[in-house]
Amino acid sequence: MIADMIKLKSSQPIGIFDSGIGGLTVAKTVIELLPHENVIYFGDTAHFPYGDKSSSAIQEYTKHVVDKLLDCGCKVILIACNSASAAAYDFLKQHIDDRAYLINIIDPILQSIAKTHAHKKIGLIGTRQTIGSNVYGQKLRALNSDIQLQSLATPLLVSAIETMLHNKKVINEIVKEYLSNDILSDIDALILGCTHYPAIEKEIIEFYEGQTEIINPSHAAAAHIKQLLTEKNLLNPNGHGLEHVYVSDYMDSFANVIRLFFDKEIAIEY
């Protein structure tokens, strides 16, 4: 149960952050569902990748990110990053207290599949941090779910997506190597537990020949934010989507991706 927040207004923006560029896929989903919200994105590029860092390091990095988003007046902050959601959600919730609503990328999808996928065998792929933390498993147990979760760390995928996305042969090889692992045999669905993986959703669907459901958690997170803002009377009727993009270390590629994803020019601030 989230405590009632003080002094929040519907005109305040939604803050979304990730370790880097990957969370823009999540921001896009949120903006598609809530086109009249103002959205501020923070990519912690100076500390990318989070997936191989310790929980305490991720907590320290994300505290600064969240402080920046609070300074920007965000009413809701979404942790788009799975690794940060696993390592730092409880810590950040305490840090933020009643200054804004904090949502992680993991809870909404688990609440949704606990209802829709009872008795099913579900695969999960993610970074070493996300899988090693076993946060998905613990949260499913707390929901009294009988879903059988089969988790596999797939650490090569993030760097392959960053550097080899154009080389489908290499991507397909790595996808095949990981998804053929016995841990993921006979699953009914696969959760893409990392912001980068939607970029290779097509290759993953092809690996399963369309026979296995692929679950992208960003849709459940966006729906959760919409429901929360509706219930709290905080929906903004006058916003314009992505407004500001902050990074902690400048990267040229960011501006290109934003142009491609959002069809607008946004100055990258840092």
Query: Catalytic positions, please?
Result: 81, 194
Rg (C-alpha) for the chain, rounded Å, is 18
Binding of residue 254 to ligand DGL (CB under 6 A): no
Cβ 122 to ligand DGL shortest distance, Å: 18
Q: What element of type H or E holds 234?
A: none
| SS3 (DSSP) at 180 | coil
| Cα dist from 215 to 106, 142, 177, 193, whole Å | 12, 21, 20, 9
The rounded distance, in Å, linking the Cα atoms of 53 and 47 is: 9
Asked if 49 interacts with ligand DGL (CB under 6 A), we say yes
Nearest to 10 by CA among 228, 219, 218, 222: 228
| CA dihedral over 143, 197, 84, 16, signed as positive or negative | negative
Please, what is the minimum distance in Å from the beta carbon of residue 168 to ligand DGL? 21
State yes or no: residue 12 binds ligand DGL (CB under 6 A). no
The C-alpha atoms of residue 190 and residue 51 are separated, in whole angstroms, by: 19
Q: Give the nearer residue to ligand DGL in terms of CB position, either 187 or 191.
A: 191
Regarding 83 and contact with ligand DGL (CB under 6 A), the answer is yes
Which member of 17, 41, 42, 50 binds ligand DGL (CB under 6 A)?
Answer: 50
Q: Please, which residues bridge with residue 78 across strands?
A: 16, 103
Choose the binding region for ligand DGL from 14-22, 93-101, 210-218, 247-255 (rule: CB under 6 A). 14-22
Nearer to ligand DGL, 82 or 150 (CB): 82
Q: Characterize the bridge pairing of strands 121-126 and 76-79.
A: unpaired
How many residues belong to the site for ligand DGL (CB under 6 A)? 17
Phi, psi at 38, each rounded to 5°: -90, 135
Q: CB under 6 A: which stretch of 31-39, 140-148, 190-198, 261-269 binds ligand DGL?
A: 190-198
H helices then E strands: how many in the chain? 11, 10
Residue 246 · residue 44 · CB < 8 Å: no
Handedness of CA 79, 76, 222, 198 (dihedral sign): negative
- Report in angstroms how near the CB of residue 213 gets to ligand DGL at its nearest: 20
Which of 80-88, 141-149, 184-192, 218-226 is the region at the interface with ligand DGL (rule: CB under 6 A)?
Answer: 80-88
Between 129 and 148, how does the x/- string for binding to ligand DGL read (CB under 6 A)?
-x------------------
Q: Using CB under 6 A, which of 74, 81, 147, 258 touches ligand DGL?
A: 81
Which residue in the set 59, 154, 195, 216 belongs to the binding site for ligand DGL (CB under 6 A)?
A: 195
Say how far apart CA 43 and CA 249 lie, in whole Å. Answer: 9
**Does residue 103 touch ligand DGL according to CB under 6 A?**
no
Residue of the chain from 15, 51, 123, 239 that contacts ligand DGL (CB under 6 A): 51
Say which DSSP state 200 is in: G
C-beta closer to ligand DGL: residue 46 or 235: 46
Interface ranges with ligand DGL (CB under 6 A): 18-19, 22, 48-51, 81-83, 126-127, 130, 158, 194-196
